[in-house]
Structure 1
Amino acid sequence: MKKNIYLRTFGWLMGIWLVFMIGFSVYVLSVEKNKIEEEFMARSRTIGVGVERTINDYQDSEDKKTAIREELSRTLNSYTDYQGYEAAVYTKEGGLISSTNEYWTCQYTSHREGNTHYIGYAVLDPKKWFSAEEIGEMEEYLYSVYPVKAGDPWYYWLHIEGFWLDGAEVIPNMIRVSKVLANDFNEQEEAISGSGERLEEPIYHSDYVDAGELPYYEQGAIQGNSVFYPDGKVRLRSDERQLALREALLDKHVFEEAIEAFHVLYAPENAANLGFSQPPALEVREGFIYRFITPYLYKGTAKLREDGITTGDYWVLTANEFNILTGALPILIPVWVSCFLIFSFTAGILSTQTWKTFRSREEMEQQRRNMTNAIAHDLKTPLAVISGYAENLAENVHTEKREHYAAGIQENVRRCDRMVKDMLELSRMESGGVILALEEVSLREITEEMLSRYEDVFTAKAITLTVDGTAEVRVDRQLMERVLDNLISNAAAHTVVGGTVQVSITEERWSVTNTGFPIPAEELDLIWQAYYKLDQSRTGSGSGLGLSIVRSIMELHGFQYGAENTEAGVCFWFEW
C-alpha cells in the first residue's frame, strides 16, 4: 500500500510537472524564435543598406553593372561575416549579380604616389587554381590556433608572389607561407607582438600562362574568408552549413518564392496589420532549426505599380538558420531541473503525509475496534453481575443476602460509571475540549498526597517507598493530580510483594520506578493507547484508560513523557 501511495502521488505530480514544463518550454521557445526573427530582420536590413550604398557609389560608372558586380564581389562577404549570414544580389528579372562565396580576400598595393601606398582589395577563388589538398593545407595556415606561450606560432601569413588582376579577381602566380611567432602578451594573455620568418616550403603554383592582357602585380597578401559568432566561434565559408545556405539562396525558385511572399506580406491590405513586426518572407523548420530567407528591395529605383506591388532594379536576398534551443537552453535547463527538484520534494512530502494519514486512520480504526472489544469485555462482567443480583432480588432468592446483592449492584454500577467517565474524559481531552487552569504547584506535595491514598496497598504488599527531591511547576493542578494518581496506582498494582517504589523529582523531571516484570521493548510505545492490554499478569482491575489519560494530559501541557525498563525496574516519567 505504501508503495502504491508513493507511486500514485509521484505519478500525478510528475505528470503536472511535465505538462507545466512543456507549456513553459513552448512559451520560451516561442519568445526565443520571435527574438531571433527580429535580430535576423535587423541584420538583413543592415546587409541590404550596405549593398545599397555600394550600388549608389557606382551608379555613375561607365560600365555600371560590371563595376557594381566587381565591388560587391570584394565587399559582400564583409557585410555578412557576422553569425553565418549568406546574401545574394539579384536584378529585378532574377539575374544573379553577386553572392557571398568561398573566395579569399587579397590585399595589395594598387598604386603609389610618392611615399604613399594605396591599398586595393580583390578576391581569389582557390578552387580555380589549386587542388583540394592544397586548399586544405592553406586553410590550415589561414585559420591556425592562437599561441599559449612565447615562441609558439601566432599566425601564418600567406603571400602572393606575383599575380594578375582580372577585374576584381586575382589570378595567382605563386603562394608562399610565412610563420609569425608570438613574442609579447598583454594582461589577458593575448599575443600583441611577434616576429616572422618565411618558410622554404611549401610553395603553391597556379600554372597560369600569362597572355599579356592583364595587369600584373608583384606582391599581395591573403586573408581568410570566415564567419564570426558572438560566442567567439569561427565558421568557414566552405563548411557544410554555409554551403547549404548559399545553395538555397542561389536557387532561382527560392528567389521567386521569396519575392512573391514579400509582395503578399507587404501588400497594402496586409502591411497595415504588421505594425512593428516584420517577419521573414520564407521560413523553413526542421526540428528546432529555423531557416529564414527574406528580400530587401533597393530603394534607389523602388516604385509602386498600379497593382499595388512595389518593384525595383535590385533585390538583396539574405539567409541564415538558427537553432532556437541554443538561446533557450540556458533558461530551460535551470527551470526544468529546479522545478523537477521542487516537484519531487513536494511529491515526497505529500506521499509521506498521505502515508502517515493512511496509517493514522488505520491505527485509529484498529484502536476503535480494540476499544469496542475492550468496552464490551469490561462492561460484560459488571453487567452480568448486576443482572444476576437483580434477578435474585426480583425472585426473593436468598433474601438473607439482599443487602449483599444491593451492595454488589452498587459497586458494579460505580465501576461502570467510572469507566464511562474515563471514556468521556479521554474523548474530551483528545478533542481539545479542555481549557487548562495553569498555576504554580509543588510536585512533592501532590506526590505525597497521592501516595497516601495507596498506603494500605503498600503496607499489604510490604512495598518499600522512597520519595526524593522537589520542584515547582506551572500546570493544571486537577489534571496533574490525575496524572500522578494514575502513575502511582499503576506502580502500586504492578510491584511485586516485598518490592520497592521510588519517586524521583528534579528541576526538570518527575519519575516513578517500581520493581516488577519488565515491559517488552516492542510494547513500550503501545501501552499509552486506550485499552491496550499487556499479558494478564500486568492487567489490573481499572478501566484500561489510565495511561491514555496520562498521555493526553501530558500532550495538553506540552510535556515529554515515556516508559522504560531500568535495572531498578519499570520507570514511568515526564519532563517539562
Structure 2
Amino acid sequence: MKKKIYLRTFGWLMGIWLVFMIGFSIFVISEEENKIKEEFMERSRIIGVSVDRIINDFNDVQDNEGKKTAIQEELSRTLNSFTSYQGYEAAVYTKEGELISSTNEYWTCQYTSRQEGNTFYTDYAVLDPKKWFSTEEIAEMEEYLYGRHHPIEVGDLQGYGVGLEGFWLDGAEVIPDTIRVTKFLAGTFNEQGEATSGSGERLEEPIYRSDYVDAGELPYYEHGGIQGNIIFYPDGKLRLRSDERQLALREALLDKHVFEETIEAYYAFYAPENAANRGFSQPPALEVREGFTYRFITPYLYQGTAKLREVGISVGDYWVLTANEFNSLTGALPILILVWVSCFLIFSFTAGILSAQTWKTFRSREELEQQRRDMTNAIAHDLKTPLAIISGYAENLAENVHTEKREHYAAGIQENVRRCDRMIKDMLELSRMESGGVILVLEEVSLREITKEILSRYENVFVAKEIMLTVDGTAGIRADRQLIERTLDNFISNAAAHTAVGGTVKVSITAERWSITNTGSPILAEELDSIWRAYYRLDKSRMGSGSGLGLSIVRSILELHGFNYGAENTEAGVCFWFAW
C-alpha cells in the first residue's frame, strides 16, 4: 500500500509538472521566437541603411552602367563586413530582379593604395581563392588564417599571417601573384595573460602562386595583407562563410523564386487594403520553419530614387534582401534547463512530502481503526465478566436459590455495577478530553504535596509488599490540580501494582520534571509507545480489574497541559515521567 501511495502521488504531481513545463516551454520558446524576429528585422534595417549610403555615394554618376559597376565594386568590398555579425547573408538586386552583389566567400585584402609624403592611404579589395588555387591549397591557407593559438610564455606561437607578395587589382578584385606565410611568436603579455606583441618570421615554405600572366593592363602592387572572411558571434565563436549553413542561406537569397516571393509579400503588406492591419510594423520576413529552426528573408527598399508604382506603392531602384537562420532553442535552452530541473526538484520534494504525509494519514487511520477494534473487543471482554456475574446473581435472587446468600448476591451485583460504571465514566472522560471538551482550571500546585497525599492512599499496599519508598525534591507548577492528581494517582498505583515484594519505588521531583521509577520487569522497547493507547495491555492474556484507560487518560491530561511525557527502561527499573 505504501508503494501504491507513493507511486500515485508522484504520478499525479509529475503529470502536473509535465503539463506546467510544456506550457512554460511553449511560452518561453514563443517569446524567444519573437525576440529573434525583432532582432533580425532591426539588423536587416541596419544592413539596408548601410547599403543605402553606398548607393547614395554614386547618385551623381550619370552613366547608368558606370554607376552600376561602381556600386557593384564597392558592395563587393564592403557587403561582407556589413554582415559579419551572427551569420547574416545579404544580396542587392535592381528593381527588375538583376543581381548586383551579394555576400560571398571572398577573402578581404588590405593594401596601401597611395602614399603622400609620410601619409599612407589604405584601401580594401577582395580575393576569390577558388579562381586561383586548388581546394587543398585553400584549406592550408585557411588553417593559417583562422587557426587559434594560445601562447603562455614569450616565444610561444602567437599565430600566422598570410600576405600578398605582388598582386594585380581588377576593379575591386585582387589577382594574386604570390602568397606567403609569416609566423609570429609572442613577445609581451598584458595583465589578462594575452599576448600583445611579438616577432615575425617569414617562412620559406609554403609558397602559393597563381600563375596569372598580366598583359600590362592592370595596376600592380607589391604588398598586401589577407584578413580572410569570417563571421563573429556574441559568444566569441567564429564561423566561415564557406560552411554549409552560410552556403544554404546564400543559395536561398540567390534563388529567383525566393526573390519574387519575398517582393510579393512586401507589396501585399503595403497594399492599401492592409493599411489598417499593419500599423507601424516593418516589412514582413519570409519565414521558413523546420522544427525549432527558423530561416528569415526580408526585403529592404532603397528609397533614393522613389517612384510611384501602379498600385501606389513607393519603390526604388534597388532591393536589399537579408537572410539568417536561428534556432529558438539556442537562446531558450539555458533558462528551460534551469526551470525544468529546479521545478522537477521542487515537485519531487513536494511529492515526497505529500506521499509521506498521505502514508502517515493512512497509517493513522489504520491505527485508529485497529484501536477501535481493540477498544470494542476490550469493552466487550471487560463488561462481559461483571454482566455475567450480575446476571447470575439476579437469576439466583429471582429463583430464590440459596436464600441465605441474598445479601452476598446483592453486594456482588452492586460491586459489579460500580465496576461497569467506572468503565463507562472512564470512557466518557477520555472521549471528553480527546474532543477538547475539558476546560483547564489552572492554579499553582505543589507536586511534592500532591505526591505525599496520593502515596498515603497506597500506604497499606506498600507496607503489605514491603516496598521501599523514597521521595526526593520539590517543585511547583501551574496546572489543573484535579487532573494532575489523577495523573499522579495513576502513575503511583501502576508502580505499586507492578513492583514485586521487597522492591523499591522512587519518586524524583526537579524544577523541570516529575518521575517515578519502580523495580520490576522491563517493558519491551517496541511497546513503550503503545502503552499510552486505550485498552492496550502488556500482558494480553491478563485482563485486570481496571478499565484499561488509565494511561490513555494520563496522556490526554498531559497533552492538554502541553507537557512532555514518556516511559523508559532504566538500570533502576521502569520509569514514567512528565516534564513542563
TM-score normalised by L of structure 1: 0.96
Match for residue 235 of structure 2 among 231, 236, 258 = 231
Choose the corresponding residue for 1:134, options 129, 134, 137: 137
1:40: which partner in 2?
40
Partner of 1:67: 70
Is the CA contact 2:107–2:128 (under 8 Å) kept in the aligned structure 1?
yes
Structure 1 residue runs of 4 or more that deviate by more than 4 Å after TM superposition: 536-539
Aligned position for 2:11: 11
Deviation, 1:242, is 1.0
Please say if residues 177 and 202 of structure 1, whose CA atoms lie closer than 8 Å, have aligned partners that are also in contact.
yes
Say yes or no: does 1:208 pair with 2:212.
yes
- Code of the aligned partner of 1:109: T
- Deviations 1:26-77, CA, capped at 9 Å, x for gaps: 1111111111111100000000011111111112233111111111111100
Provide the residue aligned with 2:30 in structure 1.
Answer: 30
What is the CA-CA distance between 1:346 and the residue it aligns to? 0.8
Matches of 2:70 and 2:413 in 1, distance apart?
Answer: 129
> Once superposed, what is the RMSD of the aligned Cα atoms?
1.7
Q: Give yes or no for the alignment of 1:57 onto 2:61.
A: no
Cα distance 1:279–1:573, how it changes in 2: closer, same or farther (>3 A)? farther
Match for residue 104 of structure 1 among 65, 88, 107: 107
Cα separation, partners in 2 of 1:270 and 1:461, compared to 1, 3 Å: same
Inter-CA distance 199–271: structure 2 relative to 1 (3 Å threshold): farther
* Residue of structure 2 equivalent to 1:2: 2
- The residue matched to 1:162 in structure 2 has which SS? strand
> 2:478 aligned to 474, 482, 485, which one?
474
Per-residue deviation, 1:348:
0.8
Structure 1 unaligned blocks of 5 or more: none
Work out whether residues 283 and 299 of structure 2, in 8 Å CA contact, stay in contact via their aligned partners in 1.
Answer: no
Distance (whole Å) between structure 2 residues aligned to residue 514 and residue 190 of structure 1: 83
- Answer yes or no: is 1:406 the counterpart of 2:410: yes
Secondary structure of residue in 2 paired with 1:209: coil
Distance in 1 (CA, whole Å) between partners of 2:524 and 2:450 is 30
Residues 260-409 of structure 1 correspond to what in structure 2 (within 5 A)? 260-278=264-282, 280-409=284-413
- Paired letter, 1:375: I
Q: How does 1:490-501 map to 2 (within 5 A)?
A: 490-501=494-505
Give the whole-Å Cα distance in 2 for the aligned partners of 1:339 and 1:277.
37
SS at match of 2:43: helix
Residue deviations 1:473-502 (CA, integer Å, cap 9, x gap): 222111110011111111111222232222
DSSP-derived class of the 2:158 partner: strand
Selected match of 2:553 from 527, 549, 559: 549
- Contact in 2 for aligned 1:265/1:281 (Cα 8 Å): no
Contact 1:159/1:220 (<8 A) preserved: yes
- Relative to structure 1, is the Cα distance of residues 471 and 539 closer, same or farther in structure 2, using a 3 angstrom cutoff? farther
CA contact (8 A) 1:38 1:279 kept: no
1:253 and 2:257 matched: yes
What is the correspondence of 1:36-185 to structure 2 with a 5 Å cutoff?
36-61=36-61, 62=63, 63-149=66-152, 150-185=154-189
Change (3 A) 1:530 1:490: same
Letter in 2 for 1:218: E
Greater shift after overlay, 185-194 or 80-89? 185-194
Distance 1:281 1:20, change over 3 A: same
Query: Deviation string for 1:500-529 (max 9, x for gaps)?
Result: 222222222222222223222221211111
Partner deviation per Cα, 1:279-304 (whole Å, 9 max, x = no partner): 74211122221111111111113334
Which piece of structure 1 moves more, 311-320 or 528-537?
528-537
How many angstroms apart in 2 are the aligned matches of 1:492 and 1:255? 105
Q: Distance in 2 between matches of 1:265 and 1:501?
A: 100
Residues 271 and 313, structure 2, Cα contact 8 Å, conserved in 1 = yes
Q: Partners of 2:167 and 2:127 in 1: how far apart?
A: 10
Offset at 1:377? 0.8
C-alpha displacement at 1:183, in angstroms?
A: 1.7
Alpha-carbon separation, structure 2, partners of 1:217 and 1:438: 110
What's the offset of the Cα at 1:192? Answer: 2.5
Query: 1:515 corresponds to which residue?
Result: 519
Q: Distance in 2 between matches of 1:570 and 1:217?
A: 109
More displaced stretch, 213-222 vs 312-321 = 213-222
Question: Matched residue of 1:516: which SS?
Answer: coil
Kept in 1: contact 2:303–2:315 (CA 8 A):
no
In 1, the alpha carbon distance for the partners of 2:282 and 2:490 equals: 86
Q: State how far apart, in whole Å, the 2-side matches of 1:555 and 1:267 are.
A: 82
Contact 2:54 2:71 in 1 (8 A): yes
Q: How far does the alpha carbon of each residue in 1:214-255 deviate from its partner, in whole angstroms, 9 at most, with x for none?
A: 222222221111111111111111111111111111111111
The Cα shift of 1:78 comes to 0.8
Q: 1:538 to 1:43 in 2, by over 3 A?
A: same
Distance in 2 separating the partners of 1:536 and 1:342: 47
State the AA in 1 paired with 2:124. Answer: Y
Tell me the amino acid that sits aligned with residue 342 of structure 2: S
Tell me how far apart the structure 1 counterparts of residues 358 and 178 of structure 2 sit (CA, whole Å). 83
Following the alignment from structure 1 to structure 2, what is the Cα–Cα distance between the partners of residues 200 and 45? 47
CA gap 1:304/1:392 in 2 versus in 1, 3 angstroms? farther
Q: Which amino acid aligns with 1:37?
A: K
Separation (CA, whole Å) in 2 of partners of 1:23 and 1:12: 17
Mapped partners of 2:283, 2:54: distance in 1? 26
Residue 494 of structure 1 contacts residue 538 of structure 1 at CA under 8 Å; is this kept in 2? no
Cα displacement string for residues 517-562 of structure 1 (whole angstroms, at most 9, x for unaligned residues): 3222221211111001222676531000001111111211222222
Note the C-alpha offset of 1:21: 0.9
Q: Does residue 1:464 correspond to 2:454, yes or no? A: no
Distance 2:190 2:136 in 1: 36
> In structure 2, the residue corresponding to 1:171 is in which secondary structure?
strand
Cα distance in structure 1, aligned partners of 2:370 and 2:452: 38
Deviation at 1:403, TM superposition (A): 2.0
Q: Distance in 2 between matches of 1:302 and 1:381?
A: 115
Separation (CA, whole Å) in 2 of partners of 1:521 and 1:336: 46
Q: Which stretch of structure 1 is more off in the superposition, 267-276 or 225-234?
A: 267-276
1:192 aligns with 2:196: yes
Following superposition, the deviation at residue 276 of structure 1 comes to 4.4
Q: State yes or no: 1:558 paired with 2:562.
A: yes
CA distance in 1, matches of 2:270, 2:195: 50
For residues 147 and 464 of structure 1, do their structure 2 counterparts lie closer, same or farther at Cα, with a shift above 3 Å needed? closer
**Structure 2 stretches lacking a partner, 5+ long:** none
SS at match of 1:299: coil
1:422 positional shift: 0.6
Shift of 1:406: 1.9
Match for 1:527: what amino acid? Answer: I
